[in-house]
Structure 1
Amino acid sequence: MLSPASIVPVILAGGSGTRLWPVSRDSLPKQFQSLHGTNTLYQDTLKRVSDRSLFSAPIVLTHEDFRFFARRQAQDIGIDTTVVLEPTRRDSGPALLAAAMVAQRLAGEGCLVLALAADHVVLDEALFVDACRAAGRAASDGHIVTFGITPTEPSTAYGYIRPGSAAGTSEARKVDAFVEKPDTVTAARYLAEGYLWNSGNFLFPASLLIEEAERFEPAIVAAVREAVELSVEDLGFIRLDAKAFADSPAKSIDYAVMEKTTRAAVVEGKFRWSDIGSWDALRALEPGDAAGNVTHGPVTLLDSTNNYIHTDGPLVATVGVDNLAVVATEDAVLVMPASRSQDVKALVAKLKSDRHNAASEHLKAHRPWGTYQTICRGERFHVKKIVVEPGGRLSLQKHYHRAEHWIVVKGTAEVTLDGRVFEVRENESTYLPLGGVHRLANPGKIPLELIEVQTGSYLGEDDIVRLEDVYNRS
């Protein structure tokens, strides 16, 4: 039987989610956004494993760019986490092995690890916990358990699992085969033959996953082990050694271990689940209106049917359209036949090759100290709204190509300029000359809001020379 808090949840939160562009972008991917419900997908995943009689405090694995998101969003819902930083993306194999080794450090050699993607939706949490208990029993019997989902349709968007005979005395079954995403005819046959969707979530003894990976991929294990052994604590985060981790071959856990091991088992998850891999997957989670339309945000429809329309602000109005997907943000609009949502990834690749900023960046950029948002941009000027959270401090910095004006509209700013420290209050402003060594901080108890006007020959974000930084970015 499982002992209390014997399962260590590991949340993989480093992906980019380009298939949900323009809402999900590299600068703020889908797991950290509220796409289904009031919490972010990441917060929902954390809450799913919050029963401390079964799950210990979670380990979160994410990229450095998202470390403050991961910690802040967990704190916002009252959950303590250990956040491990991947120096570079090497796919799920090295990531899960690193997490398993960190889990052993924190919970002991014999711990069980539950590996979950941060951007999935589960609608039946009691059934999810039941599946975790069943998978825990199978893992305790010496299996690496994957969660197979009962298919609701012959989907071509998922990989499939062919279950085999019973795996010992547990509710799990051995995995006969993992199969790639099929065509429509093959998917229908898989349904008829009892195949399951491959959710990409796992539960396993940490020691067993490492042992099996060492058999099949010793180079990955050696590199990851060195990265964990040389890891350091940085502002409360565990930072894996960059050089050692980069030396690991990039490979998914499916290819590295699951398709080779004889210890794979599957537990059938009867809960409703989606990996939110496309806009049509998100649409499928919600009932439409009488005309089959699913809408979010300010939308007005006339003689329009079977559409999915999501807007983060701009009014979207349609006349006489059918079966479209329309997604609008402040700086981009996506329009496509609903059946083409799997092609958004290719569209983003084209936008990136054409050097569109909107392919990767939102108008509002998030930083450890707060946010900034572009209001207007020209050839030699850039106007931003800057919000600094209470206690937030920007780096001590200078610019080679631009000067700046700061106008405070809310709160009080503490400004450092060439060694002098002074306050700028509401309706006051200050000028920062080109080359001036400066810092902005919020000493107050309310968010500081100001308008920044940059002028100069070059206004890129890479014209920042950081001299000191409380967030260790210098």
Structure 2
Amino acid sequence: MIIHIGRVSEMNIIVLSGGSGTRLWPLSTEAKPKQFLQIFADETGEPISMLQNVWHQLTRRGLHTRTVIATSASQRELILDQIGPAADLVLEPEKRDTFPAILLSVAYLVTHRGMSREEPVVVLPVDSRAEDRFYDLLEQLPDVLEQSGANLSLIGVRPTKPSDKYGYMLPKGPALPGEAVGIDRFHEKPSFEESAQLMAQGALWNCGVFCFRAGYLLDMLQQMGIAGTTYEELLLSYHRLDPRSFDYAVTEREPRVTAIVYEGRWKDLGTWCALTEEMKEPGPGPVYISEGSRNVHVVNELDIPAVVVGLSDVVVAASREGILVTRKDAGAELKETLRTMAGKELRGGSSEQWSRPLDSAVFADGVEVETRRLHMSKGQETVIDASEASGRKVTWMVLHGSAFVRKNEETFTAAAGQTFLLQQPDRAVVCALEPLDAIEITTEFR
């Protein structure tokens, strides 16, 4: 099927940016998900994130003015810090996967931007990286939708190698670059052997980019028995929506699907292996990699050096959340490893002592603030060290319980409601006198 592209139709765009990216732990966390990590570089060499890269591509084409970003409320400040007040955000009241997030975004576009039922909507994930030609095809999706008579139009990426990390779509006929083809069926993340067989049959990667008319999803809302289709009405009913992906709920069940074929550079940046392939340098931070090491990337957010000697094909990632050392081809195991780790006592530690991030923000002047919640059982100790970091302040607030604190040469007891501050050259040891809960706020002045 050849689609004749004339003018590019106007379209509305939904950028999906609600995930936490646990496969990129320890840098990607609930407090600062992967799409905000500034580990790429733009044309001028300045560090940028996945989100900033996608926003830059849309801005160059003037598409950012017709774009909304679907995200969670916890990511609001991170997005505004990185791309500014021009971002129009659709904030989910709770995480319920991509299908509910897209429904909510469509309702927002109709209610607050006056979008009609016939207008096309393009959905774009934030965690992929592609060249300009990919975005040229993205602009053509509304015309593909109109001329093909389909209910969904997608971008299908020509696979470069068999992979069990992506979903596949099998076309009904020859899939020629830049042309549209009907889709017969989908295969969600087949085995490596099955993916090789699908490639031999001409299958394409499903890159999560698709287009539909607004009325197509509004009709689904009515069929689901949701009262009202305005944004405010759907917010009140959001908890009733089943947490399902758009692929499972819609794409794989829709018989009238067309895809436009893309051949070129494209990558889903969901794993350390994929991410490091896009990094021009071994990684940021104080890092030394020996000459005998090959294909090694180190991303170090700590103030202490990370040294790699005699290793090959590995990723080392270090942050205050933890330290990861992994083979690049073992990314699929990380998610399950983290799930197993969460339920076990770590060697040398105790399941009764834990720390988890609550919030992280980077302000326009470069100041970074990270807030964590801590729990310690009676007799356990922790060290707070600001002695070598002139640009760091650490504030501790005891929420419940009490602790004995040795700060430099001073000793005192901190009880519930009390706060103490550390900055260069301070160093403190905190020992819980009873079960202790506290908040730790670390401020970095760059």
TM-score > 0.5, shorter chain as reference: yes
CA distance in 1, matches of 2:76, 2:307: 38
**1:321-361 CA deviation, whole Å, 9 max, x = no partner?**
33333222345221223321211111111222237799994
2:290 alignment partner, one of 297, 301, 306: 301
Q: Which residue of 1 aligns with 2:341?
A: 351
* Superposition deviation, residue 47 in structure 1: 1.6
Q: Percent identity among equivalent residues?
A: 25
1:11 aligns to 2:19 (yes or no): no
TM-score by length of 1: 0.70
1:63–1:87 Cα contact (<8 Å) kept: yes
The secondary structure found in structure 2 opposite 1:336 is strand
* Superposition deviation, residue 248 in structure 1: 0.9
* Superposition deviation, residue 433 in structure 1: 8.5
* Superposition deviation, residue 93 in structure 1: 1.0
Q: Which residue of 2 aligns with 1:43?
A: 52
CA distance in 1, matches of 2:243, 2:359: 29
CA distance in 2, matches of 1:283, 1:350: 25
1:260 aligns to 2:247 (yes or no): no
**What do you get for the CA RMSD once the two structures are aligned?**
4.2
1:108 alignment partner, one of 115, 128, 137: 115
Mapping 1:71-470, distance limit 5 Å: 71-75=80-84, 80-105=86-111, 106-109=113-116, 110-122=118-130, 124-125=131-132, 127-141=133-147, 142=149, 143-165=151-173, 171-211=179-219, 218-219=224-225, 222=226, 225=229, 228-230=231-233, 240-241=235-236, 244-286=237-279, 294-297=282-285, 298-313=287-302, 314-330=304-320, 332-354=322-344, 361=356, 365-366=359-360, 371-372=369-370, 379=380, 383=384, 399=399, 401=401, 457=434, 459-461=436-438
* Superposition deviation, residue 462 in structure 1: 7.5
* Superposition deviation, residue 223 in structure 1: 6.9
2:156–2:204 Cα contact (<8 Å) kept: yes
CA distance in 1, matches of 2:326, 2:97: 30
* Superposition deviation, residue 183 in structure 1: 2.3
The secondary structure found in structure 1 opposite 2:15 is strand
* Superposition deviation, residue 162 in structure 1: 0.9
The secondary structure found in structure 1 opposite 2:369 is strand
2:403–2:436 Cα contact (<8 Å) kept: no
CA 139–209 in structure 1, closer or farther in 2 if over 3 Å, else same: farther
CA 51–359 in structure 1, closer or farther in 2 if over 3 Å, else same: farther
CA distance in 2, matches of 1:304, 1:100: 50
CA 154–162 in structure 1, closer or farther in 2 if over 3 Å, else same: same
* Superposition deviation, residue 160 in structure 1: 0.5
2:299–2:316 Cα contact (<8 Å) kept: yes
CA distance in 1, matches of 2:134, 2:399: 52
Q: Which residue of 1 aligns with 2:38?
A: 34
1:43–1:73 Cα contact (<8 Å) kept: yes
**1:351-407 CA deviation, whole Å, 9 max, x = no partner?**
222377999945x94159861467x9994777598xxxxxxxx9xx995546999x9
Q: Which residue of 1 aligns with 2:392?
A: none
CA distance in 2, matches of 1:72, 1:3: 35
TM-score by length of 2: 0.74
Residue identity opposite 2:76 in structure 1 = R
CA distance in 1, matches of 2:50, 2:425: 31
* Superposition deviation, residue 306 in structure 1: 3.5
CA 66–360 in structure 1, closer or farther in 2 if over 3 Å, else same: farther
Provide structure 2 residue ranges, at least 5 long, that are not aligned to the other structure.
Answer: 42-46, 387-394, 442-446
Residue identity opposite 1:87 in structure 2 = P
The secondary structure found in structure 2 opposite 1:307 is strand
CA distance in 1, matches of 2:425, 2:67: 37
2:179–2:260 Cα contact (<8 Å) kept: yes
The secondary structure found in structure 1 opposite 2:194 is helix
Residue identity opposite 2:20 in structure 1 = S
CA distance in 1, matches of 2:6, 2:123: 17
CA distance in 2, matches of 1:23, 1:147: 30
CA distance in 2, matches of 1:55, 1:139: 21
CA distance in 2, matches of 1:175, 1:401: 61
The secondary structure found in structure 2 opposite 1:131 is helix
Residue identity opposite 1:366 in structure 2 = S
Residue identity opposite 1:46 in structure 2 = W
CA 213–187 in structure 1, closer or farther in 2 if over 3 Å, else same: farther
The secondary structure found in structure 2 opposite 1:176 is strand
The secondary structure found in structure 2 opposite 1:259 is helix
The secondary structure found in structure 1 opposite 2:254 is coil
Residue identity opposite 1:248 in structure 2 = L
2:227–2:233 Cα contact (<8 Å) kept: no
* Superposition deviation, residue 90 in structure 1: 1.4
